[in-house]
Amino acid sequence: MDITEYKRVVVALRPSMLAIARRITGNKEDAEDVVQEVCLKIWHRRIEFGEYRYENLEAYSTTMVKNLSIDKVRTRRPSSNETALLERESESQSPDILLEQKDDADALRHIIGLLPPLQQRILRLKDLEEYETAEIAGMTGIAVEAVRNNLSRARKQLRELYLLYYRHKKTEL
């Protein structure tokens, strides 16, 4: 793999690697560090990548990003401000409310997992990672209007499924 091929293949994967790292680490700077490390590792191992591995490079880089991001989070010590904020949040809410919030968050994660893969990705990039529509279009390779349509459909489906979940939950009580 020469430098032009590296740029073509690896630099194209960078936005999705950043999104994964940012989602896991919750921190833009840590995500940048992780992606930089992955890009360097790929460059140093470029000779090992034969023609048969180019198809698997996306999966390989995604796995590396996930693993390095998890390592980064594990080694990070919470600052005193973060610890104090978490303690205040947990003290201000009763265990019942915290449990309900956790159940709702789990339900939303499950419902998002039921959406088609493209809608899942667009919804996560827009609403969780806070990317602009044009950036998402560039990452996914589809038109801006198609991003808007998929996002609208995903939100509508999410809303409908969550309302069904909520009604079902109310009838159980």
**Residue 90 pLDDT exceeds 60:** no
Q: Residues of 122-135 as b/e, b for ≥16 C-beta within 10 angstroms?
A: bbbbbeebebeeeb
pLDDT value of residue 156: 92
Q: Could you say which of 19, 44, 75 is where a domain stops? A: 75
pLDDT band of 146, cuts 50, 70, 90: very high
Residue 68: Cβ within 10 Å count:
21
Q: 4-43 pLDDT, tens per residue?
A: 877 777 788 888 899 988 888 888 888 898 999 888 888 8
What is the pLDDT at residue 76?
64
Tell me: pLDDT of 94 over 80: no
145 in any annotated domain: yes
The answer to whether position 85 is within a domain reads no
The last residue of one of the domains, among 22, 44, 75, is 75
Those residues whose C-beta lies under 8 Å from the C-beta of residue 18, and which sit 6 or more positions away, are 31, 32, 35
Mean of per-residue pLDDT scores for the chain: 80
Asked if residue 41 is part of any domain, the answer here is yes
Question: Which residues span the domain enclosing 30?
Answer: 3-75
**54 within some domain:** yes
At 109, is the pLDDT very low, low, confident or very high (cuts 50, 70, 90)? confident
The alpha-carbon radius of gyration of the chain (Å, integer) is 20
Residue 17: name the closest of 87, 53, 64 by CA.
64
Closest CA to 24 of 80, 79, 76: 76
